């Protein structure tokens, strides 16, 4: 059976003005460059998992363009060789942004049959200002993401969970939808990856549903506030409470940390030049889910995820920088 990943999460359109001074209240600032990107943790993680399960398609050239386009379209429909399938469970509005997001996901090989289209509500949208020094201000209107229902998630997972399925969910959608993902995954024998992002208060019961927990070094402080700024001890404390849990902490330029019952391992970072760190965590989580669905050993899965996240920061754009399977394979382990 091929590997299968089911992602539950948000789908957004990101509207960015880059290289502009932040305005004061009531002030209008003119300048910068406008960009539009596909986004949302759910969409990004689904693309990351899909790419981690297939090779990068050849770039079409000259007379071969039409043939290459056909091959890529066939790949997106599952007609060419790939090591698994990725299903996204989420919601968009019945609007141009929603249609464009679905087209982009499908072109990247993601099964969008479980993405609900909700009329009368806008597709999730993020407004991002990036100043000259790279700092950002972000406001997000969740739109359709906030309308995703627990019943929709449960029904979707029941249709798609099978042998070796890994379910991954993040917190840009309603918490009851994430709880439904965890309960359904466990009830049907799938493994559940909880990415507790964005940061905030998290119900302990939700954490107990996870087989794998993937906070970053800030988010783990929300999970164990008494061990703030001590990620190693915080990860070990979580594992001590649940001996079936594996905690994977992403540490940015310092790599990652894997804590399981009786073992804590450091995963070395790649040595890379950072161009854009947006979406690195999503690349990590998608690649981790894909590797787990392939039944790779846990340390190997975390190492592949580290590599995916490391490669992602070397290219601009949250989704544009996500690497493919052959790029992950070709990257040597850091010494």
What residues are annotated to the active site?
A: 282
CA gap 67, 61 in Å, rounded: 10
Q: Tokens 């960009």 label which residue? A: 35
- Burial of 17 from C-beta contacts in 10 A (0-12 / 13-18 / 19+): middle
Residue/partner pairs of 73-81 with CB below 8 Å, 24 or more apart: 75/109, 76/106, 76/107, 76/108, 76/109, 78/109, 80/54, 81/54
Answer whether 150's CB lies under 8 Å from 164's CB.
no
CA nearest 39: which of 19, 15, 7, 72? 15
List of residues 6+ apart from 112 with CB closer than 8 A: 88, 102, 105, 106
Helix (H, G, I), strand (E, B) or coil at 109: coil
CA nearest 260: which of 320, 230, 293, 302? 302
CA gap 293, 190 in Å, rounded: 10
Secondary-structure breakdown of the chain: helix, strand, coil percentages, each rounded to the nearest 5: 40, 25, 40
Q: Tokens 């609900």 label which residue? A: 116
Question: Helix 280-293 and helix 41-52: axis angle, to 10°?
Answer: 50
């Amino acid at each position: 059976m091929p590997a299968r990943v089911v992602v539950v999460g948000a789908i957004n359109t990101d509207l960015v003005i880059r290289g502009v001074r932040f305005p004061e209240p009531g002030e209008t600032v003119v300048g910068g460059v406008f960009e539009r990107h596909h986004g949302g943790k759910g969409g990004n993680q689904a693309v990351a998992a899909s790419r981690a399960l297939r090779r990068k398609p050849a770039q079409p050239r000259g007379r071969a363009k039409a043939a290459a386009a056909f091959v890529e379209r066939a790949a997106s429909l599952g007609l060419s060789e790939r090591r698994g399938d990725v299903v996204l469970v989420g919601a968009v509005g019945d609007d141009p942004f929603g249609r464009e997001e679905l087209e982009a996901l499908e072109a990247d090989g993601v099964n969008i049959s479980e993405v609900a289209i909700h009329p009368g509500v806008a597709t999730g949208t993020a407004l991002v200002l990036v100043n000259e020094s790279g700092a950002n201000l972000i406001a997000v209107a969740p739109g359709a993401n906030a309308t995703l229902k627990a019943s929709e998630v449960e029904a979707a997972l029941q249709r798609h969970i099978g042998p070796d399925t890994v379910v991954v969910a993040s917190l840009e959608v309603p918490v009851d939808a994430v709880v439904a993902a965890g309960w359904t995954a466990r009830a049907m024998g799938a493994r559940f990856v909880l990415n507790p992002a964005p940061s905030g208060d998290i119900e302990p019961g939700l954490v107990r549903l996870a087989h794998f927990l993937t906070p970053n070094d800030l988010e783990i402080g929300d999970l164990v506030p008494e061990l703030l700024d001590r990620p190693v001890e915080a990860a070990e404390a979580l594992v001590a409470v649940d001996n079936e849990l594996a905690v994977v902490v992403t540490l940015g330029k310092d790599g990652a940390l894997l804590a399981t019952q009786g073992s804590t391992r450091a995963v070395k970072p790649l040595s890379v030049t950072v161009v854009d760190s947006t979406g690195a965590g999503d690349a990590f989580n998608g690649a981790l889910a894909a590797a787990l669905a392939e039944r790779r050993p846990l340390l190997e899965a975390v190492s592949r995820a580290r590599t995916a996240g490391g490669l992602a920061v070397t290219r601009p754009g949250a989704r544009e920088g996500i690497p493919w399977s052959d790029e992950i394979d070709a990257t040597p382990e850091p010494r």
